Amino acid sequence: MALKEIAQRPTPMQVMQDAPVIPVIVLQDRAHAVPMARALLAGGIRMLEITLRTPVALACIEAIAKEVPEAVVGAGTLRSAADAQAAAMAGARFAVSPGYTHAVGKACRDLGLALLPGVATGSEIMMAQEDGYTALKFFPAVPAGGAGMLKAWHGPFNDVKFCPTGGITAANAREFLALPNVACVGGSWLTPADALAAQDFTRITRLAQEAAGLPRG
């Protein structure tokens, strides 16, 4: 399946609408970055969230940005303006944060970096909306209220779209994707630690294919 052309600087909504799932990726080895990105791409997933949780994360973002230009590499676990600067320098084209502060929002806007701010309460949604964000990550989705919470938010926040992340799996993704205020889901199940350690990239492509084929409501 050919992927549509995407801007060098996608909007947050374009990031969320590209595929049903944004893989949340934890890389321990710089050598895994490029073959993993190619494996996900082969399965039809190109928005790749590399979490800034390991010492090699920025090097992995840089390698994917340089060597896999068809992928759109982003940085996850962004918690500060300094993280935003480092991610943009490494070549990240979008960012995902586990929470939201005005400082993180401003840094991303100044850098032209699409941000999916993390929210878990109505007040946090309102704070992100004050700064112009309407494409938000609901984190941690399952522990913080799951599909029921999203249904409740659809009333007062019906102008917001969410990417629920945290506790989403191949088994429960459909339930979330069927909701009218869910654009996509995020999850780590596409890149299991054991598959990366064993360099089983065929398994990662298969998981990506299954995820890319999930129906959206």
The footprint of ligand 3PG (CB under 6 A) covers 24, 139-140, 165-168, 187-188
Q: What is the distance between the alpha carbons of residues 107 and 173, in angstroms, rounded to a whole number?
A: 31
Q: How far is the CB of 135 from ligand 3PG (least distance, A)?
A: 16
Pairing outcome for strands 118-119 and 114-116: unpaired
- Cα distance between residue 39 and residue 61, in whole Å: 15
| Nearest distance in Å: CB 170, ligand 3PG | 11
Residue 193 near residue 29, CB atoms below 8 Å = no
Q: Which of 4, 70, 124, 137 is catalytic?
A: 137
Query: Looking at beta carbons, which residue is closest to ligand 3PG?
Result: 188
86 vs 144, beta carbon nearer ligand 3PG: 144
Handedness of CA 7, 88, 22, 103 (dihedral sign): negative
Q: Is 137 a catalytic residue?
A: yes
Helix (H) / strand (E) element for 165: namely: none
Q: Which is nearer to ligand 3PG, 165 or 181 (CB)?
A: 165
Residue 149, both tokens: 């919470």
Query: Between residues 165 and 205, which has the closer beta carbon with respect to ligand 3PG?
Result: 165
- 49, 57 in Cβ contact below 8 A? no
Closer Cβ to ligand 3PG, 12 or 187, answer by number:
187
Q: Of the two residues 99 and 167, which places its CB atom closer to ligand 3PG in the complex?
A: 167
Per-residue tokens: 194: 């054991």
CA–CA separation, 154 and 94 (whole Å): 25
How far apart are the C-alpha atoms of 88 and 195, rounded to whole Å? Answer: 28
Closest contact distance (angstroms) between CB of 113 and ligand 3PG is 19
Least Cβ distance, residue 24 to ligand 3PG (angstroms): 4
Tell me if residue 49 is catalytic: yes
Out of 4, 5, 49, 106, which one is annotated catalytic? 49
Residue among 120, 160, 173, 122 at smallest CA distance from 143: 120
CB of 189 to ligand 3PG, least distance (A): 6
Active site residues: 49, 137
